[in-house]
Structure 1
């Protein structure tokens, strides 16, 4: 076997173990920290407290010692490995034997479990049969108990019925004895009745009783009819009272609503009167404004004519185009509102042009007037200067003389 490469060593010796449950792990190869090689030192493959042993031998002795130590360690490891391998084989055989015993015990356990299940199945079947028998017996006993109770109830009912019938029989016998006198009396009455009293040739007591029964039923029917009529009348009277009350309440509500509506009507009339007054005032104001506007337009046209900017005919033409006629001849056609708006716009433009023309004319006249006044002032100044010069000349002449 080749020796291990430098820088790699086997782990520390494994302690022998006589009882191992698992196979020994393979030798672990660990990296060892590289140590700087110096002359006169030897690298040892065993670790002792993580220190490196230093040996001061010659190179030839160091190599021989190292080879011998590694061979010894290798043989020791092989021996330990063989021992561990033999122990492992023994453990494997022991484990296989134990596993076989476990399988046999498992088979026995399965067989016992099967037997137990079979017994449980049979016992459950037996229990089910017993439960079914017990349930049938209970049902039969309950049915017989119910039948006995029913028969006892029937016996009690029949006993009560018998007692009631006996009581009725005794009561009937008592009534027969009691009413025997009345029967005799009725028979005597029948014997004394006229032949055609009941429209029967030979009347009997039963006929009289039937007649009495009929009359009694008729009386009861009439009493019931009277009672029903009284109840119906009371019901109708109650409905009438409620209806009268409801209608009175409704009349009060309607009167209140009528009063509210009357107040609203009065308020609306006042508002309408106020609005009519405002409308009349607005119409009067509009008429006054239209009159003032017409007068203003006429004044503008007159001023425009007087300043001499156009002939009289042109003035009349613009008057018909831009200024509305007098109030008595004004007529606006409702079919041409757009044309009226256009005419009003044209009239406003014409008035604006005339005002601008009048303004320009007034400014021109002011300028002319100012120029004339300035010229008059200059002429007067020249005349005064000439007079002063003449006076000075006359004075100088008289002074010389």
Structure 2
């Protein structure tokens, strides 16, 4: 409002100045005296100020009406918001009630269906019991072992208990069989691993045996060579000993058996050497004497 008021004052001031300058430039005003023009200007100023005051009052009245309308509009908006909140709350409550009603209806429907199913099952069981009763009565008419339906039921219970006991024993036997099979499989696997290890050891030992056989054959060849060489050397040694012994006997004959007989080859060689050296010396001496 202060901004609008200042704008109006500026507007009236501008209009006043325009009228003042227009009147000042009028040809008729030049003919008036200064006092007359001053009075005229004062009168116009008063009229303008009165008009401005009236417009201000009218503007203030309109602004008050506008403010009142705005306040009324704000109250109506607040009232509408409150009504909207209440209506939304009402809708939510109705939705919740509807959901609860639908849930209750669904539960009641399920309960009704369950009761109807139970009644139907009971009726079927009753019909089945009637069939069993007629069957028992027919058995009692043909069989002399059972006198009452309870006898058949007791026999059935006994057979059922026996069957249950047999099933339990069968299950235990199957479990033991499975455990035995598992143990057998584990032991078989262990034995197979042991056999595999033994086979690996045998293969390794076989390889070592072949290597040893090859080395044995090699050393056997070497030994055969050594034996052949030793045989040849033994033969040569025997021949040498025989020749040495013959030479020794010849030396003894030449010396008229003055040398004692010995079988030691080294001694024989020494005697032969002495004889040869002595014979050579005598030969040289005889040659010198001649």
Query: What is the TM-score with the length of structure 1 in the denominator?
Result: 0.35
Query: What is the TM-score with the length of structure 2 in the denominator?
Result: 0.47
More helix by share: 2
